Structure 1
Amino acid sequence: MAYSLGFFAYLSLKIRATLLRIVFTLQNRRAFRQDQLLAAQIPVTKQRVRIPSRDPGRFIVADVYYPPSLSNSPTAVPVLVNWHGSGWVLPYHGSDTLFCAQVAQQANIVVVDADYRKAPEHPHPAIFHDVEDTLRWVGSKTPSSASSSSSSAALPRFDTIRVAVSGFSAGACEALIAGSVLRKALSHLLTIVAIVAVYPATDLTLPSAARTVPRPVNPLPSFMLDLFTDSYVPDPSQRTDPRASPAHVPEEEFAGVVVVVTADGDTLAPEAEALAKKLDVKGRRVVLKEVKGVGHGFDKGGVEGGRERKAREGAYEVAVEELRRALET
């Protein structure tokens, strides 16, 4: 851990991040539980694996979802790697369980839902390294070679020329980086053909006060956005690093299919839409879906029959359709 801002600045971030984790965990417990119960009804198999990291003795936890039809597949199967939302701070691994289970079943692919270290304890580039290590594992290992805490059954082999990445919020930022910077760097190991980014943060150089929309819905407060950014990349001079801000990645490095889902009540929407428009060039398929009347994190929990549930259904439907098309499943 190296902080140019000094120990006391780190201590301040640590205290505020800890308090925020407690508040958000309590606040979102019911929503996550609702989604877990819905996911449990989807006929997929979920297996916990530990992915070796670059640090000796340290592993990255991931949940692998696959439909039963693929359990004994004689051929390699396409894979989606997903990273959860967190503001790079909150311990929310598993919050995308409904999305992962639904995509695995409906797109008939394997989904790897990977965790990553959190800031401020592990600032940039620690999270980038975890994302890279996960993709290296996907590209060079079969699931059966990883240790598992829930089952010894072998998973189907990954088809390393049919790989997609996805994420939500901060995880969507990481997916965009994975599908561009790491897509190029790891092209000898795997081929990333598609990106699905749901309400992503894309440009850490933007001041929080500049993140506005005409009709905000439960917007993330400026102090919280500042805490997330300061924790993740405490040195402002590093916020243009393409490994942290996908808006600063050359457009030609992105995958051939990019799906961006935004909410018109989310203050992060304008930067996500700007990136989608920048990437919409000849030779690349860009799908920009704007969901009306909802805010950041609209797909988590929600009341049955309510606006958020309907918005989630539409967003996940687009993701499944585009993943099936890109991975030819």
Structure 2
Amino acid sequence: MAMTSIFTSIRYLYLKVLITFSRLLINLLSSSPKPNPDYILQIPSRQSNRTIKVHVYNPLAENIGEAPSPGPAPVLINLYGSGLTIPLHGLDDPFCRFVSKNTNYIVLDVEYSLAPEFPFPNALNDVEDVLNYVESHPDQYDSEKISISGFSSGGTLALAIAASASASASTSTTHIRRAPFKSLIAFYPATNLSQDPALRKTPVGGKERSPFWTRIFRKAYIGPYDSRDPRISPAFVTDEDMARLPQYMLFVTGGVGCFCG
């Protein structure tokens, strides 16, 4: 038992050092996101003494002086691309602003937990906590019009939470739900995290990414869990659960986009 604990600690430190280095390198080579939300929410987490930061893009905030729309508003929950480890919350600011400006949707851009500090299933739990918050405020949000979107690993999480929302009690540790999302948009999500990253094809016009770093990110996120768990790799969702996913789904890939509805 002691040896297992020692091995786990060493493994965590190894992954922590590598990912910290990766974070520093990304900060040096690229500029940090500079989002401009209308306001910020701190949503209670199921973890004690912790909240989940959410950037809010509210179309009514852009029309001050006009009469607000009657009743609760539809809402889009957005999940940014992080490799499940890199803190880039705010990167999707242009997308969130575009949706808010051109629709009547309130957009909630979620800063979910990252590995290795918070491995699976912490990120999914955060998204579910945000969903709980939305559903518990029917005066503000229309529970019949909740959509979810995500970029890259955020797209993976969006698919995973939609799939786990339809999963049976024997395969899900989260609270059981039945199709809480009206629609889903996933931009180039990774659907099979059990597959060797070296087998991936570089997206059209994209840059090749190191399989080494992808393996490190996935190890930090997945930990001791089975990488074929549909909450981790949505490609393994059963046909029965697929039928319970949102009625409207849009997948945008690096080569070919498809609409499913």
Length-normalised TM-score, structure 2: 0.84
Is 1:196 paired with 2:185?
Answer: yes
Q: 1:102 & 1:4 partners in 2: Cα distance?
A: 49
Q: Does structure 1 retain, via aligned residues, the 8 Å contact 2:59–2:103?
A: no
How do 1:210-249 residues align onto structure 2 when only pairs under 5 Å count?
210-213=199-202, 217-235=206-224, 238-249=226-237
How far apart are 1:107 and its partner, in Å?
1.8
Is 1:176 paired with 2:159?
Answer: yes
More helix by share: 1
How do 1:122-141 residues align onto structure 2 when only pairs under 5 Å count?
122-141=118-137
Corresponding residue number in structure 1 for 2:144:
161
How far apart are 1:5 and its partner, in Å?
5.7
Picking from 176, 191, 208, the partner of 2:197 is 208
Q: Does structure 2 retain, via aligned residues, the 8 Å contact 1:163–1:194?
A: yes
- Residue type of the alignment partner of 2:127: V
Picking from 231, 250, 257, the partner of 1:259 is 250
Corresponding residue number in structure 1 for 2:116:
120
Q: 2:29 & 2:253 partners in 1: Cα distance?
A: 23
Q: 2:5 & 2:101 partners in 1: Cα distance?
A: 43
Indicate how the Cα distance of structure 1 residues 73 and 247 shifts in structure 2: closer, same or farther if over 3 A, else same: same
Which range moves more in the overlay, 130-139 or 4-13?
Answer: 4-13
- Residue type of the alignment partner of 2:221: Y
- Residue type of the alignment partner of 1:46: D
Picking from 40, 43, 50, the partner of 1:58 is 50
Corresponding residue number in structure 2 for 1:310:
none
Q: 1:71 & 1:97 partners in 2: Cα distance?
A: 26
Q: Does structure 2 retain, via aligned residues, the 8 Å contact 1:165–1:178?
A: no
Is 1:47 paired with 2:39?
Answer: yes
Q: 1:28 & 1:104 partners in 2: Cα distance?
A: 27
Indicate how the Cα distance of structure 1 residues 13 and 217 shifts in structure 2: closer, same or farther if over 3 A, else same: same
How far apart are 1:220 and its partner, in Å?
1.5
Corresponding residue number in structure 1 for 2:80:
84
Indicate how the Cα distance of structure 1 residues 4 and 219 shifts in structure 2: closer, same or farther if over 3 A, else same: farther
Corresponding residue number in structure 2 for 1:7:
9
Q: 1:200 & 1:128 partners in 2: Cα distance?
A: 15
Structure 2 spans left out of the alignment, 5+ residues: 168-175
Indicate how the Cα distance of structure 1 residues 71 and 102 shifts in structure 2: closer, same or farther if over 3 A, else same: farther
Corresponding residue number in structure 2 for 1:319:
none
Q: 2:5 & 2:207 partners in 1: Cα distance?
A: 32
How far apart are 1:4 and its partner, in Å?
9.8
How far apart are 1:215 and its partner, in Å?
6.1
Q: Does structure 2 retain, via aligned residues, the 8 Å contact 1:176–1:197?
A: yes
Is 1:26 paired with 2:17?
Answer: no
The size of the alignment, in residue pairs, is 243
Structure 1 spans left out of the alignment, 5+ residues: 143-155, 286-329
Q: 2:21 & 2:70 partners in 1: Cα distance?
A: 49
4+ runs of 1 displaced by more than 3 Å? 2-5, 213-216
Q: 2:203 & 2:39 partners in 1: Cα distance?
A: 43
Q: Does structure 1 retain, via aligned residues, the 8 Å contact 2:203–2:254?
A: no
How far apart are 1:191 and its partner, in Å?
3.1
Q: 1:3 & 1:173 partners in 2: Cα distance?
A: 30
Indicate how the Cα distance of structure 1 residues 254 and 15 shifts in structure 2: closer, same or farther if over 3 A, else same: same
Q: Does structure 1 retain, via aligned residues, the 8 Å contact 2:204–2:254?
A: no
Q: Does structure 2 retain, via aligned residues, the 8 Å contact 1:180–1:255?
A: no
- Paired residue secondary structure (1:15): helix
Q: 1:138 & 1:5 partners in 2: Cα distance?
A: 40
**Can you list the C-alpha shifts for 1:95-116, whole angstroms capped at 9, x where unaligned?**
1111001101112210001111
